[in-house]
Amino acid sequence: MSQRAHRLLDAARRPLPEGTFAVGAGLLIAGLTAYGFQIISFRALGEEQYTALNGLWVIIFVVAPGFFLPLEQEVGRALADRRARGIGGAPLVKRAAVAGAVLTGALVVAALTASVPITDVLFDGEAWLLLCFAIALVSYAVQHLTRGTFAGSGYFGPYGLILGVEGFVRVVPCALLWAAGVDNILAYGLCLAVPPIVASGVSLLGRHGLLQPGPPAPWRELSTNIGYLFLGSVLAQALGYSAFLGAIVLAETGDERRAVASFLVGFFLARIPVLLFQAIQAALLPKLAGLVGTGRHADFRSGLRKLVAVMVAIGAIGIVGGYLVGPWVGEVLFGEKFTLGHRDLALLTAGSVLFILALTLAQALIALMGHARAAVAWILGIVGFVVVTALGDDLFLRVELGFLAGGAVAVAGMSAFLVERMRAGAEGRIEELVVLIESEPLGL
């Protein structure tokens, strides 16, 4: 007991890992600038154009993280393993770049093949946005590979820089366009598509010796559970934006499509708890990992309970705030065009909170090697959303309740699978949970 107490005290005294605050600052800037982009574009564009622009936003932030984040995670994991063994990672990154290029090409071809339904349903007939989507796929492929390289090499300062610079490079041109009275949707679409690759370039300036020569990297070095990671990542992003997608797809008349613009703004306001959680997690998780660094199963459960408690507290505050002052905040930030009510914002916030909780439990499950179970839970969540949404007829209420139900089902599934894995004696380390959650910033 005395030795354990000394180990815990020593861990508590250790400073936070290098780059912890850089990542937290980058996430905070990314979140704030995302809201800035939404506010400015809402004021600069007509309602139908704004809805079309956010059709681009949602397809980017479902497809790009869904397919490229698992690649980033695998690059980070494999590079970290090589670094621990004193082996250079250049061949591994080159192998990952080839995989990323092939995947990007396949996604671009798929987008062009489905160009008509994508343009009609998501882009409201704005064909130029399809070009922006193709550019964004290339841009985010480069960024995720760069982020994985930084994470696996232990350079979390540049990792945070990527996140912050991307948001800055997005919102500043958007503000200049608005100030100049430009309402061309292609220009605003490029503000979404181009910044990721610019941010990657900025983060790499002056970085010499990042990749060291090493032995060849076989494909299996990048393939640990990657199929389940792809499936789970895409499904998670789809559920996170399900209310958004449902409102766009189900809106039929011109009046409904114009009203969707206000709904989309409310959706972003409801995700403020996501921003708050991101802002604290980079500081909370590494310190927690230091305090429970023994890696014992009881410590894993204790660390996870503390994390969930923080999330629930932030979520409860967000739900109450969304109901009481959400409409007023919406009018202040977005002007008189914002018309969403108290109930809508409370339901959307509750759905967002459940989604965050499901995402965190999924990472805990993955840390216990429950990749397939996490994917099944996301499938159950999507089914829950579809079933509940199909039962209603009010455009907004049905997708809000569906979003809430989908999150609740996903949380229940993750919880059940997590308990089952723990009872089966699966070993998990809080450090692995930290790495998984820190490497998966939540898109607004």
329-368 pLDDT per residue, tens:
766 766 666 667 788 888 888 888 888 888 878 877 776 7
Lowest mean per-residue pLDDT among 179-188, 262-271, 405-414 = 262-271
For the chain, the average pLDDT equals 78
| Average pLDDT score over residue span 121-137 | 91
Please report whether residue 333 resides in a domain: yes
Give the chain's largest Cα–Cα span.
Answer: 70
Q: Mark whether 163 and 245 lie in a shared domain.
A: no
Amino acid 280: pLDDT: 52
Range of the domain at 368: 228-444
Amino acid 14: pLDDT: 44
Token pair in block for residue 4: 């354990």
Q: Mark whether 232 and 220 lie in a shared domain.
A: no
Higher pLDDT, 143 or 80: 143
pLDDT at 275 > cutoff 70: no
Pick the last residue of a domain from 171, 203, 224.
224
The CA distance from 55 to 379, in Å, is 23
Q: Which of 195, 188, 339 is nearest to 256 (CA)?
A: 339
Amino acid 27: pLDDT: 75
Please report whether residue 1 resides in a domain: no
Amino acid 38: pLDDT: 87
The helix-helix angle for 254-270 and 20-44 (nearest 10°) equals 160
Amino acid 286: pLDDT: 43
Q: Mark whether 438 and 365 lie in a shared domain.
A: yes
Higher pLDDT, 17 or 231: 231
Please report whether residue 324 resides in a domain: yes
Q: Which of 91, 65, 63, 64 is nearest to 78 (CA)?
A: 91
Higher pLDDT, 392 or 113: 113
Amino acid 223: pLDDT: 67
Please report whether residue 3 resides in a domain: no
Q: How many CB atoms lie within 10 A of CB 281?
A: 23
Please report whether residue 92 resides in a domain: yes
Q: Mark whether 41 and 164 lie in a shared domain.
A: yes
Pick the last residue of a domain from 201, 224, 247.
224
Q: How far is CA 324 from the centre of its chain?
A: 27
Higher pLDDT, 430 or 288: 430
Please report whether residue 315 resides in a domain: yes
pLDDT at 53 > cutoff 80: yes
Q: Mark whether 419 and 304 lie in a shared domain.
A: yes
Please report whether residue 381 resides in a domain: yes
What does pTM read for this prediction? 0.78
Q: Mark whether 335 and 199 lie in a shared domain.
A: no
Amino acid 173: pLDDT: 94
Pick the last residue of a domain from 166, 191, 224.
224
Please report whether residue 298 resides in a domain: yes
Amino acid 233: pLDDT: 80
Q: Mark whether 205 and 154 lie in a shared domain.
A: yes
Amino acid 221: pLDDT: 64
Interacting residues of 45 by C-beta distance below 8 A, sequence separation 6+: 53, 183, 185, 188
Amino acid 189: pLDDT: 94
Q: Mark whether 148 and 206 lie in a shared domain.
A: yes
Q: Mark whether 279 and 234 lie in a shared domain.
A: yes
Q: Which residues of 356-388 are buried (b: 16+ CB within 10 A; e: fewer)?
A: bbbbbbbbbbbbbebbebbbbbbbbbbebbeeb
The CA distance from 291 to 14, in Å, is 10
Amino acid 8: pLDDT: 38
Number of domains present in the structure of the chain: 2
Q: How confident is the model at residue 110 (pLDDT cuts 50, 70, 90)?
A: very high
pLDDT (tens digit per residue) in 381-428: 999 999 999 988 888 889 999 999 999 999 999 989 888 877 766 555
Q: Mark whether 198 and 275 lie in a shared domain.
A: no
Q: Mark whether 35 and 163 lie in a shared domain.
A: yes
Amino acid 293: pLDDT: 42
Tell the burial category of 390 from Cβ atoms under 10 Å away from its Cβ (0-12, 13-18, 19+): exposed
Q: Mark whether 215 and 257 lie in a shared domain.
A: no
pLDDT at 291 > cutoff 70: no
pLDDT (tens digit per residue) in 424-441: 665 555 555 555 554 444
The fraction of the chain above a pLDDT of 70, given in percent, is: 76
The CA distance from 417 to 415, in Å, is 6
